[in-house]
Structure 1
Amino acid sequence: MAEPVLPKSRTPRAPRQIGLVACVAFGVGTTVGGGVFTLSGTAVNLAGPAAAVSYILAGIVMFLCALSFIVVSTRAGDGESGYAPVGTILGPFWRFIVMWAFYLNGATIIAYLVASFGDYFSEYFLPAAGTLTVALATTVLVTALNLGPTSLVARAETWIVGIKLGLLVLFSVWGLTELRPDDLDRPLPSGTGGIFSAAAMLFTAYTGFNVITNMAGSVKNPRKTVPRAIMLTILVSGLVYLGTVLAMTASGITRFTATGVSQAAETVMGAWGGVLVAFAACLSTFSGANANVLGASEIMLRMVARGDVPPALGRHTRNGHPYISVLLLGIITVLLVVLRDTAFVVSVANVAAIIAMIVVSVAAAVLGFRKWPGEGARLPLGPVIPILAVLAAAGQLPSLNPEAIVAGFFLTGFGAALYFARLYERGGAGTRAHASAQIDTLNTPLMKAARTGTIANSADPSGPRRRLPPEA
């Protein structure tokens, strides 16, 4: 696939910018997926009725980390991603580690989402196919979509978010009307330790908000819109999670399968409720997998533009889709799906997210010690909140699978080795230039999908857009 030569003259017109509603829709759409449809059942299996407490604890930890993200990302320049200030504060290597860790998180979450899709689709709509077959077929379909017209899914994203949230709210309200004090007064399956184990596993249920940080360069008035969108995404997602897990508790079921939300809906609402929730789960996990491929590919393009990874990973089709990165994500997804160990996959995703959160929170703490220099958000108490975020995020690690912790740090170390190897290499100027141009003009697949698939506000197209430095 030949890489096109970029035009030398013509100043690109300013693309449409993304508003608050669009940011929240994309953030919630990415966040509320497998974290509710599959992890809710696992959380109840671990913590019983106290699974609601686990979701609250995970939400508090992520809220602290999100505050760090806000003070860092709001210091990004025009056209930069929210990760760029980490390079200024701590150094380029740590900016790369954050981006690489989120790339790993996205890559592993894709596998978890297509596996969840396979569970619901095969059980409720096509039992003869089998979970693994459906999951692998879904991987192929999502990969193919991201090699071509991703706008087909992007155009439906707002509707998908509305449908799944509407059905989850219906199930939650219905279940809450059935909730009795005795439902909450059941023994904890794994004691109090199960609450913390579930909270550590649920950490990844809130990580979808980082897609808003990816889109910061395409957001209207990002210094105000990005913080509000991140907070609203976490709040809306947390309320959806709480309502769902309490409704599941009202079902009286004490041991859930991988399709736990539909299992509970059948008991609370009847067979029709189980099918409706399964339909919402399939929509949610499929669109979530597609969004994570877009987000991970966006991060890869930015790393290529900076020369942090081999330029071959940024090779693109004539339409600008980074096909090497997309195919790599597809291969990783197939390997993890075949592994058929959802708990391990989720734990590796959590380790990667925790590493990124710790680095960003350290950067925020440094800003706090420096009295919040430059423009951007500030936090009360100086570096205290970011330091608490570091401790809270690191405190999740002991509750995770030890093998997953080793795998997560190994894969992060592999990324670091790639980074240092690139310091001694040259080449790939054409691929890097194209990636930089896509970023400068906000013309990456993720940016186009976000503007196509959600409500956007039009920027003034009359003025020229200046060329931005190829900062990640």
Structure 2
Amino acid sequence: MKNIFRTKPIESLLAETKGKDGLSKVLGSFELTMLGIGAIIGTGIFVLTGIAAANYSGPALVISFIIAGLACGFAALCYAEIAAMVPVAGSAYTYGYAALGEFWAWIIGWDLILEYAFAIGTVAIGWSGYFTSIVADLGLKLPTAITKAPFEGGLINLPAVAILVVITGILVAGVKQSATTNNIIVAIKLAVVLLFIVLGVSHVNTANWHPFMPYGWKGVFSGASVIFFAYIGFDAVSTAAEEVRNPQKDLPRGIIASLIICTVLYIVVSAILTGMVPYLKFKETAAPVAFALQQVGINWGSALVSVGAICGLTSVLIVMMFGQTRILFAMSRDGLLPRVFGHVDQRFHTPVKSTLLVGIITMIVAGFTPIGVVSELTNVGTLAAFIIVSASVIVLRKKEPDRPRTFKVPFSPVTPVLSMAACAFLIFNLQKITLVRFAVWLVIGLVLYFVYGYKHSTVSGDNSIDESAM
């Protein structure tokens, strides 16, 4: 069974990107940065800020964002080095295959499938909430039966399903079209976030920041674990590595630039938000930014923010679903999942079958699952992926020290170790039930790997077993 630790040579990974099942190279650093912002700025600001402030951090939400941002910063540096060195679809799954071996690649790939499926579900549910609010403002109240999951008193969250149908169609059409659509939407939502900052800063009441840390440091750390969901965007940037024109330069720029821009915006918005409205009031809403403006009487601004939130969450859906399809595509191309999903359509030059499968699965998640369950499952998956990527940097530095690296993690191996420690710390601050659900998912994945993936892997084992990865 030691063949489960067989690695896939980087040369083999790179060679696959040039065949008929390789993806078109159409993205530059600007598109990558916009993809990152598209994924990062969305649910974190427009949905989860209220949940985290009311239930975990209080006004100390600012500190929670700083903690989560630091953990992501360490991980982003690791992603930047390895993505530039191995510009292949699959993100952490592919990096784990090259550095740690097939078994760990499967674990993280299976983990990423969970991460993205539930991330997409969370965002689609948030999108539905804002859409329902806007429709209600126009005088049309949609019935609970078609706007809530069965566990929340409804039958199906139909708006969440409908937007995923649209996003699936956009992604089938092609990556260039998807990137262009994303660029336009990101520009709109950045304008809305800046508008909120301008309108809200003059309505900050410093009395609302007292008590600053009502739930103590435990609440701050738990809040950081919850809003960590907001930062998974740069992982999605790395899933596009195979479709980048100059990955050695553009990938590090896109990953790091998007993280810096979004972290600054998160800190500023969370400070203003908790200064405008007492933190406990956010228990009353799933749309905290629009709610805050309503509370201070800026109803027209609230309406604009709701429209911006719809745009923001739409761009998150585009990038998240894009990332999910590329991971499924990479795992299928390697034979660990049915090869049919690793096929590139010759008309659209996209993995159409994997895109349709992801679309169907996420529609089921968004239509029938409560938001509290899906968001925390996403966080544990993201944090586990970051740990694997950070470990891969250390291993590849040892295994292939002479391989060219256009970007190097500073102070390695200290920085990757700090990344792993920070992510592990945040995992243990999640709810126990979340960790139990995650463990069950991994057990299901292990059964699937040994029943199917191990036997159908395209890696020969004879040529690629590397004892150092064990």
Normalised by the length of structure 2, the TM-score is 0.81
By how many angstroms is 1:419 displaced? 3.0
Using the alignment, how far apart are the partners of 2:158 and 2:353 within structure 1?
24
Pick from 42, 53, 67 the counterpart of residue 33 of structure 1. Answer: 42
Answering whether residue 193 of structure 2 is matched by residue 168 of structure 1, we say: yes
Task: Tell me which residue corresponds to 1:433.
Answer: none
Q: Which runs of 5+ in 1 are unaligned?
A: 1-9, 430-472
Task: Tell me which residue corresponds to 2:230.
Answer: 205
Change (3 A) 1:157 1:252: same
Change (3 A) 1:345 1:15: closer
By how many angstroms is 1:200 displaced? 0.3
Answering whether residue 426 of structure 2 is matched by residue 396 of structure 1, we say: yes
Using the alignment, how far apart are the partners of 1:297 and 1:103 within structure 2?
9
Offset from partner CA, 1:92-116 (integer Å, 9 cap, x none): 3323333332232111111111100
Task: Tell me which residue corresponds to 1:7.
Answer: none
By how many angstroms is 1:157 displaced? 1.7
Answering whether residue 31 of structure 2 is matched by residue 22 of structure 1, we say: yes
Change (3 A) 1:232 1:149: closer
Offset from partner CA, 1:175-209 (integer Å, 9 cap, x none): 22332432323354433321111100111211111
Pick from 370, 384, 394 the counterpart of residue 365 of structure 1. Answer: 394
Change (3 A) 1:261 1:80: closer
By how many angstroms is 1:59 displaced? 0.6
Change (3 A) 1:145 1:18: closer
The secondary structure found in structure 2 opposite 1:125 is helix
Conserved 8 A contact 2:116-2:320? yes
Conserved 8 A contact 1:196-1:399? yes
Match for 2:165: what amino acid?
A: V
1:165-244 map, 5 Å: 165-244=190-269
Match for 1:223: what amino acid?
A: Q
User: In proportion to residue count, which structure has more helix?
Assistant: 2
Offset from partner CA, 1:285-323 (integer Å, 9 cap, x none): 123213222221111111111111122444676645545
Question: How many pairs does the alignment contain?
Answer: 419
Change (3 A) 1:151 1:22: closer
Aligned Cα RMSD in Å? Answer: 3.0
Task: Tell me which residue corresponds to 1:157.
Answer: 182
Task: Tell me which residue corresponds to 2:376.
Answer: 347
Using the alignment, how far apart are the partners of 2:425 and 2:363 within structure 1?
31
Using the alignment, how far apart are the partners of 2:400 and 2:177 within structure 1?
46
By how many angstroms is 1:394 displaced? 0.8
By how many angstroms is 1:371 displaced? 8.9
The secondary structure found in structure 2 opposite 1:155 is helix
Conserved 8 A contact 2:342-2:354? yes
By how many angstroms is 1:258 displaced? 0.5
By how many angstroms is 1:224 displaced? 2.3
Using the alignment, how far apart are the partners of 1:350 and 1:205 within structure 2?
9
The secondary structure found in structure 1 opposite 2:86 is coil
Q: Which runs of 5+ in 2 are unaligned?
A: 1-18, 148-156, 459-470
Using the alignment, how far apart are the partners of 1:76 and 1:332 within structure 2?
29
More off after superposition, 167-176 vs 94-103: 94-103
The secondary structure found in structure 1 opposite 2:85 is coil
Offset from partner CA, 1:135-185 (integer Å, 9 cap, x none): 233233334444557766543221210110111011113222332432323
Using the alignment, how far apart are the partners of 2:78 and 2:439 within structure 1?
22
